[in-house]
């Protein structure tokens, strides 16, 4: 499902949401890539009408085959540990999905098992065309000489594909006039149809013509992925049925239960319509909606204009029990010992700021003082002497020049200004080098505690409180500001000061997708 790329600070989990992230159980954890899609895995019952989303991960474009393979293996392992049995996997026919499926299957041939031979991979419009009604209309027009007689062959093909679609989409145990839309049983008509259509599909190829430089035309016949995958599906389902009847004594199977369209697409529809219409949520929005839908049992009205039919499946387990438990603490990893490596260079060293930047930082320090005084030390004279500049401001002072009332703005002391400046440098350095790491707030606090000195504070009552408050306040302000800048770059509203890897990536993303939109 496509997402809107954006950066958001998630304080409960202590990390910036918006990067590529597949969770702690996958070898490839968070990366510096900006995520614009979400991968969702869902389990679906074959005999019982239940479903359950069990995994999501944020990715840039499509998930790499190696990572997807690892995710599927880990998820299947967890499902078996929970007491459920996985008998099949279902996916769409994207190139990566097909590649993963073929890589995970055992490639057994006669050479593997025979001793004498052992040597040393919007649908509704297409479905409406490939339908019995269109087939009947074409055949009628051809019989009345309203269309060429060749249309009879087209009608036969359309009817054959309509029956094929029905055979893979059966959702009823009752016998109807469309016999292929019923359940699969031993010796049912489905197997006759599949045996009939397999040779037809194997013989199908699409004609393509290409013009050479010398002006001659070359003709070639190619098999498209959809035909190859239909052949693969028919052969797989026939073997799958034999497996189910032998191992689990199943006597009937609704083929619709093997279809990913209804549970997954309706889940995505619930995500997009949650609260308000949001067809392109951000990573953080998807994460919150995902949790809400799980707790609320995926309650959502079916849209009349939806691209798929109504899904009658219920949740496997109601997760409202999660509301009764306290949220777990953010996981700690082994990066704490490597924090000093991030700061191998002297963070606080560097060229001096120009006068405008220097005065702007004093203005920020004054704002921090105002918040600190209001919440921590409102009437402490000792703290006032440590935090405020006791000397009268110069005539050309920046704060004085914008302070119209001469009372609303604060004039920080030199020591406090240096302290705030050092904290800002540490935060920006961390954001520039590893913003995708989890536990970002905790790690920045460790750096500040080890590097920044608050010795100029002489009040024993408020010193520790001021240190904690100033650090937390600046961390949240700077990270929120950084996320907003990245989001503005992604939307093309801000292209200046692109000075780190994530912002450069965001600008490249905007330029690339702007070209695609202008060409459509």
pLDDT per 10-residue tile (average), the chain, 520 residues: 85 84 69 86 81 85 84 86 82 80 58 51 60 78 80 87 88 80 88 92 88 82 87 92 89 84 77 77 86 69 53 62 55 54 57 69 83 85 84 56 58 85 88 84 88 87 90 91 89 75 87 64
Nearest CA to 298 out of 324, 325, 320 is that of 320
Query: Do the domain assignments include residue 216?
Result: yes
Domain co-membership, 301 together with 269: yes
Res 108: pLDDT: 43
Cα 295 vs. chain centroid, distance in angstroms?
Answer: 20
Query: Do the domain assignments include residue 252?
Result: no
Query: Do the domain assignments include residue 3?
Result: no
Query: Do the domain assignments include residue 332?
Result: no
DSSP letters of 275-310?
SS--SS--HHHHHHHHHHHHHTTT--PPPTT-SSPP
Q: Which helix (H) or strand (E) holds 8?
A: strand 8-10
Query: Do the domain assignments include residue 520?
Result: no
Number of Cβ within 10 Å of residue 168's Cβ equals: 19
Domain co-membership, 312 together with 400: no
User: Over the stretch 483-520, which tens digit does the pLDDT of each residue have?
Assistant: 998 888 888 887 766 678 888 888 888 888 876 555 44
CA distance 193 to 160: 9
Structural tokens at position 411: 């004039």
Alpha-carbon distance values, 417 to 132, 193, 365, 423, 475 (Å): 78, 80, 6, 10, 16
CA distance 373 to 379: 8
- Find the domain containing 110 and state its range: 8-114+260-324
Domain co-membership, 295 together with 359: no
Domain co-membership, 137 together with 63: no
Cβ-contact 101, 89 below 8 angstroms:
yes
Main-chain phi, psi angles of 249, to 5 degrees: 55, 40
3-state secondary structure (DSSP) of residue 127: helix
Cα 143 vs. chain centroid, distance in angstroms?
Answer: 53
Cβ-contact 70, 104 below 8 angstroms:
no
Domain co-membership, 240 together with 267: no
* Pairing, β 37-44 against β 50-59: antiparallel
Domain co-membership, 316 together with 361: no
- Residue 56 pairs in a beta bridge with 40
Res 121: pLDDT: 38
Domain co-membership, 355 together with 405: yes
Domain co-membership, 402 together with 480: yes
DSSP letters of 367-386?
HHHHHHHHHT-TT-HHHHHH
Query: Do the domain assignments include residue 254?
Result: no
User: Over the stretch 155-201, which tens digit does the pLDDT of each residue have?
Assistant: 888 889 889 988 888 888 887 778 888 888 888 889 999 999 999 99
Res 235: pLDDT: 93
Q: Which alpha helices (DSSP H) does 343-458 contain, by range?
A: 355-375, 381-387, 398-402, 414-433, 440-451
Domain co-membership, 109 together with 48: yes
Query: Do the domain assignments include residue 363?
Result: yes
> What is the count of structural domains for the chain?
3
CA distance 485 to 102: 42
Query: Do the domain assignments include residue 448?
Result: yes
Domain co-membership, 451 together with 505: yes
Q: Which alpha helices (DSSP H) does 120-260 contain, by range?
A: 123-129, 132-143, 151-167, 189-203, 225-247
Domain co-membership, 241 together with 164: yes
What value does the CA radius of gyration of the chain take, rounded to a whole number of Å?
32
3-state secondary structure (DSSP) of residue 240: helix
Domain co-membership, 459 together with 356: yes
């Amino acid at each position: 499902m496509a997402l809107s790329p954006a950066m958001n600070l998630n304080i409960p989990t202590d990390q910036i949401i918006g990067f590529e992230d597949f969770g702690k159980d996958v070898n490839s954890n968070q990366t510096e890539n900006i995520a614009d899609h979400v991968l969702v895995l869902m389990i679906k019952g074959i005999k019982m009408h239940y479903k359950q989303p069990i995994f999501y991960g944020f990715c840039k474009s499509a998930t790499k085959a190696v990572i997807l393979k690892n995710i599927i293996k880990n998820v299947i392992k967890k499902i078996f540990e929970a007491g459920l049995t996985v008998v099949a996997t279902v996916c769409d026919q994207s190139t990566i999905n097909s590649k993963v499926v073929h890589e995970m299957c055992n490639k057994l041939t006669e050479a593997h098992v025979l001793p004498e031979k052992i040597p040393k991979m919007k649908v509704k419009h297409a479905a409406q065309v490939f339908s019995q009604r269109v087939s009947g209309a074409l055949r009628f027009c051809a019989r009345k000489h309203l269309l060429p007689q060749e249309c009879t062959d087209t009608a036969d093909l359309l009817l054959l594909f309509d029956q094929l679609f029905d055979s893979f989409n059966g959702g009823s145990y009752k016998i109807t006039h469309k016999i292929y839309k019923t359940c699969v049983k031993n010796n049912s008509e489905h197997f006759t149809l599949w045996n009939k259509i397999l040779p037809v599909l194997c013989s199908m190829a699409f004609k393509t013509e290409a013009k050479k430089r010398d002006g001659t035309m070359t003709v070639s016949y190619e098999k498209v992925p959809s035909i190859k995958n239909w052949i693969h599906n028919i052969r797989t389902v026939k073997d799958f049925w034999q497996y189910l009847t032998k191992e689990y004594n199943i006597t009937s199977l609704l083929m619709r239960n093997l279809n990913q369209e209804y549970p997954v697409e309706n889940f995505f529809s619930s995500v997009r319509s949650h609260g308000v219409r949001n067809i392109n949520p951000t990573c953080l929005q998807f994460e919150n909606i995902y949790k809400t839908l799980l707790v609320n049992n995926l309650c959502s009205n079916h849209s009349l204009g939806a691209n798929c039919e109504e899904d009658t499946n219920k949740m496997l387990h109601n997760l409202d029990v999660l509301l009764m438990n306290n949220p777990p603490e953010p996981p700690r990893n082994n990066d704490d010992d490597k924090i000093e490596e991030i700061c191998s260079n002297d963070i606080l060293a560097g060229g001096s700021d120009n006068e405008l930047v220097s005065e702007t930082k004093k203005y920020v320090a004054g704002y921090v003082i105002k918040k600190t005084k209001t919440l921590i030390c409102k009437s402490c004279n000792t703290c006032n002497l440590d935090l405020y500049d006791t000397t009268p401001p110069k005539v050309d002072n920046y704060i004085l020049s914008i302070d119209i009332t001469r009372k609303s703005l604060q004039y920080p002391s030199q020591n406090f200004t240096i302290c705030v400046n050092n904290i800002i440098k540490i935060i920006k350095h961390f954001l520039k080098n590893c913003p995708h790491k989890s536990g970002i707030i905790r790690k920045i606090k460790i750096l500040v505690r080890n590097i920044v000195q608050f010795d100029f504070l002489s009040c024993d009552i408020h010193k520790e409180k001021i240190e904690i408050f100033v650090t937390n306040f600046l961390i949240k302000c700077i990270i929120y500001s950084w996320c907003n800048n990245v989001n503005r770059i992604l939307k093309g509203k801000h292209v200046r000061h692109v000075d780190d890897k994530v912002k450069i990536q965001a600008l490249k993303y905007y330029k690339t997708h702007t070209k695609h939109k202008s060409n459509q």
